[in-house]
Structure 1
């Protein structure tokens, strides 16, 4: 994209913040630098990647949290764009990986960012938590490499089931006011490296049986939604990831589920050109 066009696109939509400048006086507290510094100390992604940048919390907007793998990283910015001026949307400071990592990574963020662990830190509660684990549970690894012939599966169905119970109990105990939304695991295509096609269906069956025991947890069937999206907008044959338009469509779907859960209305999601221009502008600035 030409630089002039990119600048024009950014001007139309603005470098994404959760709210306009006129609401700056309504930040939750006046110690944003403390929180921003703490956030950026969570890992390398938070210091340079657009999806992981620090988002200021505002008192008059709901606080939404996304936990997930690289697929969720892809759609995060489109959720933010769809809920612009409607909610402050955060995501985990890193790739969520398998269900084995969920609680530890949530705790790392909680103890880094929230009061009383951080003096002058966040003191709000999440209004909604949209979460998914599974794509990294069903993969096969030989050492650190994907290998479905010689590798070992990260989590058996039984381990995955047990972990989901632990995760939900953890979320309910620590974030009792949050609307919990579980997203089913996105599809594994034929020929995927380190993963078998059809395993998403097996793991989602287990997950949905677990969710039946917690009727208060909403379900976003992102698997069913993503089947045609992957066919049309997959990165390449055998890849579990999506091109920008695929991530945009997923982001719109996720934003609808979140908005419905907390009683807000999403706006029209901008094009991938606009979001990509924001990516480039932000990350180019970080490199300089």
Structure 2
């Protein structure tokens, strides 16, 4: 049975149980117990997690929301675009060393009245990182587009995390992408 590694922040943690359930009997789904937070944290932990969880055959991964965070009165994202892309390239390099099939998920949007980050920045960072993934032959799972189709139905009152329905929708799309490699 193939091993699937899920990497990401609390968005991943929200849909993870549904992905496990949906791939039961088809794949072993593993993930760090902790939140992957911003790209630098994932870069720090990725090899530790893979040692603990075993060599993956398929990796589904995202970083972004933490990198884009602005804690008031900050006016710039926690991680600049150049830093983000540099760190994402380094993470990708570590993941590619495994020989696993890699799927990158775009960062999910927030409602127009969300705080701490903006969709304009999310779109800018997504476009830049998708360019990197395309250049490296990495499949992209556009969770941003999926969630944008029904922001009110997919995003919680906290204006960041996914609702139960949002988790179900994202899990279904994640499962669909992963199944291509089973």
TM-score range, shorter chain: over 0.9
Question: What's the counterpart of residue 85 of structure 1?
Answer: 25
Question: What's the counterpart of residue 153 of structure 1?
Answer: 77
Structure 1 CA distance, aligned partners of 2:74 and 2:81?
A: 19
Superposition map of 1:112-191 within 5 A? 113=52, 122=54, 125-141=55-71, 147=72, 149-150=73-74, 152-173=76-97, 175-176=98-99, 178-191=100-113
The yes-or-no answer on 1:221 pairing with 2:138 is no
Aligned residues: 182
- Return the offset for 1:231: 2.2
Question: What's the counterpart of residue 103 of structure 1?
Answer: 43
- Return the offset for 1:151: 5.5
Q: Which of 1 and 2 has higher RCO (CA within 8 Å, sep 6+)?
A: 2
CA-based RMSD: 1.6
Question: What's the counterpart of residue 253 of structure 1?
Answer: 173
Structure 1 CA distance, aligned partners of 2:118 and 2:154?
A: 20
Q: Would you say the 8 A contact 2:109–2:122 is kept in 1?
A: yes
- Return the offset for 1:153: 2.0
In our comparison, the structure showing a higher alpha carbon Rg is 1
SS of structure 2 residue aligned to 1:140: coil
Unpaired runs of 5+ residues, structure 1, are: 1-60, 115-121, 142-146, 264-288
- Return the offset for 1:152: 4.7
- Return the offset for 1:106: 1.4
- Return the offset for 1:204: 0.4
Rate the CA distance shift 1:211–1:233 in 2: closer, same or farther, 3 A: closer
- Return the offset for 1:108: 2.6
TM-score, length-normalised on structure 1?
0.60
SS of structure 1 residue aligned to 2:127: helix
Runs of 4+ in 1 over 4 A off after TM superposition: none
The yes-or-no answer on 1:62 pairing with 2:2 is yes
